[in-house]
Amino acid sequence: MTFKSVNPADGSLLEEVAVFTAGELETALHEAANAGPAWRATPLAERCALMHKAAAVLRGHADEFARMITLEMGKPVREALAEVEKSAMGCEYYADEGPAFLADEVIESDAGRSLVAFQPLGTVLAVMPWNFPFWQVFRFAAPALVAGNTGLLKHASNVPRCALAIETVFREAGFPKGVFRSLMIQSSRVAGVIEDKRVHAVTLTGSESAGRQVAATAGAHIKKSVLELGGSDPFIVLDDADLGLAVENAVNSRFLNTGQSCIAAKRIIVVDAIAEEFLQRFRVGVEALRAGDPLDESTQIGPLARFDLRDELHRQVVESIKQGAIAVTGCNFEGGSGAYYQVSILDRVTPGVCAYHEELFGPVASIIRAQDEADAIRIANDTEYGLGGSVWTQDSARGERVARQLECGCAFVNGLVKSDPRLPFGGIKHSGYGRELSRQGMHEFVNAKTIWIK
């Protein structure tokens, strides 16, 4: 059996990668477990130096890796280059900040000396998605490996070449054998890896259904898990917003990565007083986006990553229109042989409409109209998801007040929701639990051990 790497821009087969046999999987698990003690004992300064080298390897192969990302999942190449650079910056961030994050925390108590030491858990399995095939991996791997853990990657089956390339980054940077391995296994074999005694924790970025399965298996075996699942992020435009700024960022937020981002502006909630003007300007911005060959640096909209994802998106759009949403522009397949979908806007999205309740993972924007600020907050929180959200207003105090009322893991005022290595990232409700990035992300996969000395 093989994983097929297919170019979604034209449907052509790029490569077939063999799935691991039982023996090959056993070898990878053994190598990770065997590497653990020596890697844990490696001085932190040496682990950080190697992570700096990983950043250098990423930059040294940036054009090659970006082209691989674009060919394998359709991301416009200029965005793919930015993703590789962000991955390198993430490696550098943890190489620089790791010593401070892992330093003993001395605490006054009834002991002569008491402290908290942060020690690695062991081997961490990461189940990662295709939409940011490098960044999603490095934002787990950089903190986990600097902390002294070993890492196993089960990547999405449609990006096998990216998975293997990431393993070569660590190998070329000089990481010891077994410290990081990519597992060429099907999703059906993930539970068995989580159950293996040589695996100590698991992190997943993916669908809600996949998160439930991983959490159930990890919980049954009393292993730490972190989940970053779907999102239906609100983008609230208040009546005093700078409309030019709000429109520009709404276009960028919704259509970055061809709309295939967990933290995209999935629900654009606009106060009635300015809704018509916002929609007119937003339509102009959306229709100006250039779709085409993702290897062309001027392309802003590429194909969806897979044909089945395009079909599912169209089903949601058609169903939403039947239920009362208004098709403002787009809302159909693009012509040609690739997995392209028209940039689209649905207006008058209301409760009971598919686009109101479900996450639309593609280049479709949903406009929801609110009576006022209070109604906008109510609508924003009327979802099972809670990943991110943004507020647009010229009154920063007002923006902060609204942001504090949003039920989500991160809220931005007059800025795009984004993942930044310096800030913790993650969700609540059905968007998952735990945090990635910053100090909190590193501490998810360490043992915060109390040491008390009299």
Q: Give the pLDDT mean for 210-228.
A: 98
Residue 336 has pLDDT above 90, yes or no: no
Q: Give the pLDDT mean for 443-453.
A: 98
The CATH architecture assigned to 234-420 reads 3-Layer(aba) Sandwich (3.40)
Give the pLDDT band (50/70/90) at residue 198.
Answer: very high
Q: What is the mean pLDDT of the chain?
A: 98
Name residues whose C-beta falls within 8 Å of residue 204's C-beta, 6 or more positions apart in sequence: 126, 127, 128, 210, 211, 214, 225, 226, 227, 228, 229
Instruction: Rounding to the nearest 10 degrees, give the CA dihedral for residues 177, 163, 422, 234.
Output: -160
Q: Give the pLDDT mean for 279-288.
A: 98
pLDDT at position 114: 98
pLDDT at position 334: 86
Q: Please, what's the b/e burial string for 362-396 (b: 16 or more CB within 10 A of its CB; e: otherwise)?
A: bbbbbbbbbeebeebbebbebbebbbbbbbbbeee
- Active-site positions? 228, 262
What the block records as the tokens of 143 is: 């903190």
Helix (H/G/I), strand (E/B), else coil: 330: coil
* Domain ranges, ordered by start, for the chain: 2-229+431-453, 234-420
How does DSSP assign 38-69, residue by residue?
HHHHS-HHHHHHHHHHHHHHHHHTHHHHHHHH
Question: What is the per-residue pLDDT across 113-152, written as a single tens digit (0 to 9) for each?
Answer: 999 999 999 999 999 999 999 999 999 999 999 999 999 9
Q: Identify whether the C-beta of residue 338 lies closer than 8 Å to the C-beta of residue 303.
A: yes
Fold of the CATH domain 2-229+431-453: Aldehyde Dehydrogenase; Chain A, domain 1 (3.40.605)
Residue 265 has pLDDT above 90, yes or no: yes
Give the pLDDT band (50/70/90) at residue 44.
Answer: very high
Give the pLDDT band (50/70/90) at residue 257.
Answer: very high
Residue 335 has pLDDT above 90, yes or no: no
| CA 22 to chain CA mean position, Å | 30
Residue 424 has pLDDT above 90, yes or no: yes
Q: Please, what's the b/e burial string for 209-231 (b: 16 or more CB within 10 A of its CB; e: otherwise)?
A: ebbebbbebbeeeebbbbbbbbb
d(CA 345, CA 280) in angstroms, rounded, equals 11
pLDDT at position 303: 98
